[in-house]
Structure 1
Amino acid sequence: MLTEFPKLFVQTSRDVYAVGAYSCFALIIIVFLITDYLKYKPVLIMDGICGVMAYGSIVGHPSLLRMQIGQVFYGFFFSSEVAYFGYLYAMTDDKRYYQKITGQARAACLSGKFLSSFFAQLVSLVNGSVPYVELVYISIFGMLFSTVWAYMMPNVTNSIYFHNEKSETTDDTLPPVKNHTSSPNEPKTTENIESQPSQTKITKDINKDGDRTLGQVLLYLQKDFKRSYSDPYVRKLCLWWAFAFGAYVQVYTYINILYTYVLNLNEDTHFTLYNGAAESLNTLIGAIAAYSIGKLELNWFKVGDLFLGIGSILAGVVLLGCFFTRTMWFIYAFYIIYGCIYQTMLTVAESEVAKRLSRDSYGLVFGFNSFIALFLHTLMTYGIVQGNIISVSTIQQFLIYAVYYICIGAVILIFAVKNYFSSSATDSIIECKL
């Protein structure tokens, strides 16, 4: 029951983290448009400053109001992830490198999380206890360093929407997407007509000085949005991406609350917490798995639904383990496995989407998918965590997350079965004609 859980952690979960969820949702679209208008770099600098303010809000003995204000800064800090990817795309002229730099950026994020978690766990073991204050100051120093680093980065001369010097009519059609399958003798290449991106010509209306007006920007955003999501394959992957990411943010946010909740249920005051080690292994193994899956040359158009469906169900089963077990070691292991499964599936979904978008669309699609994910995160925070729709304990939250993933997997598997029979019927018709 919730009454058995320490009031401090209940208040942290419901009154502090919830503010961060609402802030992320409210700011992500605003940040996306401001980022493009300011040409990315000022937002990167502001992102570092907001990180300093977020960590600074928990120094000493903060009041509830101070922590909530800190969560507002954290909301901007989290939402500004769009700016990092947008900066990379704006600095890259050749779209062929988008997938590569996206993978490198994700690997950098996971590596940073691994190193920070590993360092925190190492310091805690050496110190004999968790040096919370010292770790907060180290985090503040890290954010200050990233702010200075962002200031030293080169400026962006053009952005995608507000500042674009290209005025010609361009054909944003991508070259045919080829799905490769290997055989023992020689590589075999097959093309799926259904999986090809739609061909659309976009006229980029801009002023003589290279800047678009707000009306032109909104019109181009509308065209870009329709063009990006006109492909059913992209829509399906983006829906999975948004729904899976929304649940991942929930799991990532409340996993530490679950650790404390389980220790409280067990009345265990002697267990040494290895939260940092679990987080570092989660990110390290996830990065290795994501890198490995990215090297596989499979026909993801054919096997992607099956992969995402089974993977989502496995993620749900692993989270079910977090609900049923009361052993901390098992919970750590389940969380690490969950992170590995999620990062692997996300890599496949992101790379497949990136292959099929026009040159300027990836930042928009990433931002919109994140917006949907944060909307779901906010909805779950309001309805489940704060108990406005259903009142559950922290451990029961993970039961809901598990069922959520299993449902996602079931829906994707339905698509897999449908595509299998559709392709089989098409092959039979072709054979009959031959």
Structure 2
Amino acid sequence: MGRWAELRASSWALPTAVLALYGFMANCRVAEPFLTPYLIGPHKNISAEVVTNYLFPIWTYSYLAILVPIFFLTDLLRYKPLIVLQGLFLVTNYVLLCFASSLTAMTFLQVNYAVVTSTEVAYFSYIYSVIPAERFQRATAYIRAAALAGYTFGATLGQMLVTLAGLDYFYINAVTLGMVGVAFLVSFWLPMPRRSMFFKGPRAAATRAVRSQQDGGAVEEEEGAVKRAEKTDPGTGEDGVGGGWWRGDRVAHAARHLSLSFRESYSSRHVIYWSLWWALATAGYGQVFNYVQLMWDHIEPSATASVYNGGVEAVCTLVGAVAAFSVGHVEVTWATWGEMALGFFSAVGAGAVFLMGLTGSIWACYAGYVVFKASYMLLITITTFQIATNLSLECYALAFGVNTFVALSLQTVMTATVVDEKALGLDIVTQFIAYGCYYSGISVLFLVRGVYTVCSRKPTGVKEQKAEDWAQVISAERF
């Protein structure tokens, strides 16, 4: 047993390095900062109103519809196949951008990209299935930093090709196609996890039940179900392959396991608060990120002015990458100061969004976006490892999926009411003012909660100190 723990500790670097390389290449999308100018320009010739109120909402709706099936397939197929699928759909995405031009094709492109984004649950959960828990914080920081560094490199390269080489947007997309093609090949190098989290055989389930320490009655019930499954289907192996386990027992066990893991995941207030920020902030971030290029084009149209989208994305993502990497080496009592940090940096993000919506200067809008994105990347990295370190592996995989689903549901509501042409269909400036108000609400919520947490912990410390002093007095009197 000691030898196995030592082996796992020594081999954590390989899957982390390969996943980081994949994340770097998959996010090295040279053309992404110039997507809106490409769509509304002569290559696709789609109006800005159609892009804002019709095309981009399709991605949001498709993402929500695909996310839940992808989550279960991710676990059932054990993570790696879904990462490979993400690489494949990234390639398809840029094939469509390069060689398709109709509105129907661009509509399908949004659905295709929804598959890419929904499979991120596999990318960010994979590493926790192949490395020990004590490496979670550092591995999370490295993986996010690699993804952000890849995006920074791609955005920088894209800006150089546009500004210095004067390269056409078509060739920028062709270069990106080559980058994501390399990522697709790298995905095959990832080690395959030994088992899934929920869809697994009775022996693996029994191991999980023995390790669980929070819900004693639920564990006993789980163990009883495992023993019954073994009697019913004795030929089933550790991974649940064979006989009736693939018919009904496997699904029934997965449902019980999901229910148990859900109760464990959200029985902790600490996890609930971090998950709440994750869902709320990610929904707002998704809206700002999706529509910021349209805001830039509104302030300074790309058809008549130089475009520096790539340079701006490179700067803000580089800052975010540095912040994400530093998280792995910073020691802070997050249980005390975490909610204050969430509230403070959310307030910074709210101010940056208001600046983007109200300014008439493209450079002020660029600066606001840099501040907004960097603060979000810092906090989402902290949030990710805080949730991971407070949960078991199975619970983390479920929490990631649930949090992402809640965030996307909120984003879909915002899209349907604020953006969609069938509802309010607000112009881009009014949209950003609405997003600024939304982030202000998040900051107020967590600042109030953070002040309460900090103040409530001080009396506890005083009482403990007084109790310790009193114990010393009593001990002295005895002797």
Q: TM-score, normalization: structure 2?
A: 0.78
Q: Hey, what's the Cα distance between the residues in 2 that align with 1:220 and 1:280?
A: 42
Of 137, 140, 164, 1:99 maps to 137
Q: Is the 8 A contact 1:172 1:359 kept in 2?
A: no
Q: Hey, what's the Cα distance between the residues in 2 that align with 1:172 and 1:277?
A: 49
Paired residue type of 2:148:
L
- Residue 376 of structure 1: how far off its partner (Å): 1.4
Matched, 1:127 2:165: yes
Q: Hey, what's the Cα distance between the residues in 2 that align with 1:294 and 1:394?
A: 37
Q: Is the 8 A contact 1:294 1:347 kept in 2?
A: no
SS of aligned partner of 1:163? coil
Tell which deviates more after alignment, 251-260 or 144-153: 144-153
Q: Hey, what's the Cα distance between the residues in 2 that align with 1:375 and 1:407?
A: 18
Q: Is the 8 A contact 2:136 2:385 kept in 1?
A: no
Q: Is the 8 A contact 2:133 2:389 kept in 1?
A: no
- Residue 119 of structure 1: how far off its partner (Å): 0.7
Q: Which stretches in structure 2 are left out of the alignment for 5+ residues? A: 1-44, 231-235, 471-479
Q: Is the 8 A contact 1:287 1:343 kept in 2?
A: yes
Of 15, 29, 45, 2:68 maps to 29
Tell which deviates more after alignment, 114-123 or 378-387: 378-387
Q: Hey, what's the Cα distance between the residues in 2 that align with 1:412 and 1:29?
A: 28
Q: Could you report, residue by residue, the CA deviation over 1:347-373 in whole angstroms, capped at 9, with x for unpaired residues?
A: 222222122111322221111111111
Paired residue type of 1:38:
L
Matched, 1:287 2:315: no
- Residue 37 of structure 1: how far off its partner (Å): 1.3
- Residue 90 of structure 1: how far off its partner (Å): 2.4
- Residue 389 of structure 1: how far off its partner (Å): 4.3
Of 296, 299, 302, 1:262 maps to 299
Q: Hey, what's the Cα distance between the residues in 1 that align with 2:96 and 2:90?
A: 10
SS of aligned partner of 2:156? helix
SS of aligned partner of 2:288? helix
Matched, 1:221 2:258: yes
The match for 1:74 is 113
Of 153, 161, 175, 1:115 maps to 153
The match for 2:102 is 63
The match for 2:267 is 230
Distance 1:26 1:402, change over 3 A: same
Q: Could you report, residue by residue, the CA deviation over 1:384-424 in whole angstroms, capped at 9, with x for unpaired residues?
A: 11144434211211111111111001011121232244334
Q: Hey, what's the Cα distance between the residues in 2 that align with 1:389 and 1:431?
A: 59
Paired residue type of 1:228:
S
Q: Is the 8 A contact 1:60 1:133 kept in 2?
A: no
Paired residue type of 1:305:
E
Of 134, 145, 156, 2:182 maps to 145
Q: Is the 8 A contact 1:320 1:398 kept in 2?
A: yes
More helix by share: 2
Q: Hey, what's the Cα distance between the residues in 1 that align with 2:284 and 2:461?
A: 38
Q: Hey, what's the Cα distance between the residues in 2 that align with 1:152 and 1:7?
A: 39
Matched, 1:90 2:126: no
Please identify the structure whose Cα radius of gyration is greater. Answer: 2
Q: Hey, what's the Cα distance between the residues in 1 that align with 2:361 and 2:335?
A: 40
Matched, 1:382 2:416: yes
Q: Is the 8 A contact 2:141 2:326 kept in 1?
A: no
SS of aligned partner of 2:330? coil
Structural mapping, 1:180-259, within 5 Å: 202=219, 203=222, 205=226, 208-210=236-238, 211=240, 213-259=250-296
The match for 2:211 is 171
Q: Is the 8 A contact 2:138 2:328 kept in 1?
A: no
Tell which deviates more after alignment, 37-46 or 10-19: 37-46
- Residue 42 of structure 1: how far off its partner (Å): 2.4
- Residue 155 of structure 1: how far off its partner (Å): 2.9
Q: TM-score, normalization: structure 1?
A: 0.86
Q: Could you report, residue by residue, the CA deviation over 1:139-174 in whole angstroms, capped at 9, with x for unpaired residues?
A: 22222222222234333331111135523332335x
Q: Hey, what's the Cα distance between the residues in 2 that align with 1:343 and 1:41?
A: 25
The match for 1:10 is 49
Paired residue type of 2:154:
S
Q: Could you report, residue by residue, the CA deviation over 1:210-256 in whole angstroms, capped at 9, with x for unpaired residues?
A: 32601100110111011011001110110001110111111111111
Tell which deviates more after alignment, 227-236 or 342-351: 342-351
The match for 1:354 is 388
Aligned length: 400
Q: Could you report, residue by residue, the CA deviation over 1:288-326 in whole angstroms, capped at 9, with x for unpaired residues?
A: 122224422121111111111111111101111111111
Q: Hey, what's the Cα distance between the residues in 2 that align with 1:293 and 1:44?
A: 25
- Residue 428 of structure 1: how far off its partner (Å): 5.9
Q: Hey, what's the Cα distance between the residues in 1 that align with 2:262 and 2:99?
A: 46
Of 434, 438, 443, 1:400 maps to 434
The match for 1:184 is none
Q: Hey, what's the Cα distance between the residues in 2 that align with 1:157 and 1:354?
A: 20
- Residue 99 of structure 1: how far off its partner (Å): 2.5
